[in-house]
Amino acid sequence: MKLTQQVAIVTGGARGIGREIALTLAREGADIALFDVNAQILEQTVGELRALGRRAEGFAVDVTDGKQVDEGVGKVLDKLGRIDILINNAGITKDGLLIRMDDAQWDRVLNINLKGTFLCTRAVAKHMLKQRRGRIVNIASIVGIIGNAGQANYAASKAGIIGLTKSVAKELASRSITCNAIAPGFIKTEMTDVLPEEAKQRLLAAIPMGELGQPADVANAALFLVSDEARYVTGHVLVVDGGLAM
Ligand code: NAP
């Protein structure tokens, strides 16, 4: 096992890609703390992690609230003793064409996706700096690289995450802390289940591999980036998209 005696925080880890990342890291020996707003599903996922024989704790943390994030990080240290890995995965979409997009739609997406990533990274970095070791993985999107009509807010948040990732990577590299991003294409989760059938068919036609990705495809990329094998990889954006953006 690659991650024995390590502790990982996964934000938005109750379901979807975050849940799959948490399970994948746990199977490699990591103890897991989940930050999520969905209390009911959070407990369910914590149960699945414990069934793997790992220590797991769920914390009701809204990543847009700096106080909740700081307190959550403190509780992880109290209960699990250390933090080696942070996966900034919590994210939402609120799609709409630019001229119809209201301020609230813009603010909510930027707050959760980008500010949430900043707040969690800042809180955990203080601890990792003292520890002189750490792995931070931010879940961006290919939409942050190539853009997408109807997703100006989401694309801006994900492009922001890529800039944040590279800046954090430069700031923390000398203390053996890496910071990388994963840019998934379209992955089969509740986020993409709501796409209209016609949009799904158009997407599938544009993906060279001819299928949506699975949460495990993103989780395996995350596992590589937090492992010792990726020791010398930082500031990288790993695209996991079946060839869509190339
Ligand atoms: P998902 O199934 O909607 O799961 C997201 C999780 O984050 C949910 O449990 C959600 O709770 C939680 N969350 C929402 N707001 C939060 C907040 N303020 N604080 C803490 N947790 C919060 O999404 P997903 O498809 O797994 O996506 C995960 C990440 O991958 C996102 O960053 C997304 O942008 C990115 N991504 C996804 C795809 C894709 O095709 N699915 C592609 C590229 C990138 P609730 O259940 O209460 O909403």
**Ligand 1 atom at shortest distance from the alpha carbon of 16:** 26
Q: What is the pLDDT of residue 98?
A: 98
What distance in angstroms lies between residue 190's CA and the mean position of ligand 1's atoms?
9
Q: CB of 105 closer than 6 A to ligand 1?
A: no
Residue holding tokens 């703390």?
A: 33
Q: What is the pLDDT of residue 191?
A: 85
Which residue among 38, 88, 138, 241 is best mutated to probe the pocket of ligand 1, counting the most ligand atoms within 8 A of its Cβ?
A: 38
> Which residue out of 59, 106, 118, 154 is catalytically annotated?
154
**Ligand 1 atom at shortest distance from the alpha carbon of 90:** 7
232 as an active site residue: the answer is no
**Ligand 1 atom at shortest distance from the alpha carbon of 63:** 19
**Ligand 1 atom at shortest distance from the alpha carbon of 15:** 9
Q: CB of 186 closer than 6 A to ligand 1?
A: yes
3-state secondary structure the chain: CCCCCCEEEEECCCCHHHHHHHHHHHHCCCEEEEEECCHHHHHHHHHHHHHCCCCEEEEECCCCCHHHHHHHHHHHHHHHCCCCEEEECCCCCCCCCHHHCCHHHHHHHHHHHHHHHHHHHHHHHHHHHHHCCEEEEEECCCHHHHCCCCCHHHHHHHHHHHHHHHHHHHHHHHHCEEEEEEEECCECCHHHHCCCHHHHHHHHHHCCCCCCECHHHHHHHHHHHHCHHHCCCCCCEEEECCCCCC
Domain boundaries, given as residue ranges, for the chain: 7-238
pLDDT tens-place values along the chain, 246 residues long: 999 999 999 999 999 999 999 999 999 999 999 999 989 999 999 999 999 999 999 999 999 999 999 999 999 999 999 999 999 999 999 999 999 999 999 999 999 999 999 999 999 999 999 999 999 999 999 999 999 999 999 999 999 999 999 999 999 999 999 999 999 999 999 888 988 899 899 989 999 999 999 999 999 999 999 999 999 999 999 999 999 999
Q: What is the pLDDT of residue 51?
A: 98
Q: What is the pLDDT of residue 109?
A: 99
Q: CB of 9 closer than 6 A to ligand 1?
A: no
In this prediction the pTM is 0.98
Q: What is the pLDDT of residue 60?
A: 98
Q: CB of 88 closer than 6 A to ligand 1?
A: no
What fold does the segment set 7-238 form as a domain?
Rossmann fold (3.40.50)
Q: CB of 228 closer than 6 A to ligand 1?
A: no
What distance in angstroms lies between residue 90's CA and the mean position of ligand 1's atoms?
5
Q: CB of 162 closer than 6 A to ligand 1?
A: no
Which residue among 23, 44, 93, 187 is best mutated to probe the pocket of ligand 1, counting the most ligand atoms within 8 A of its Cβ?
A: 187
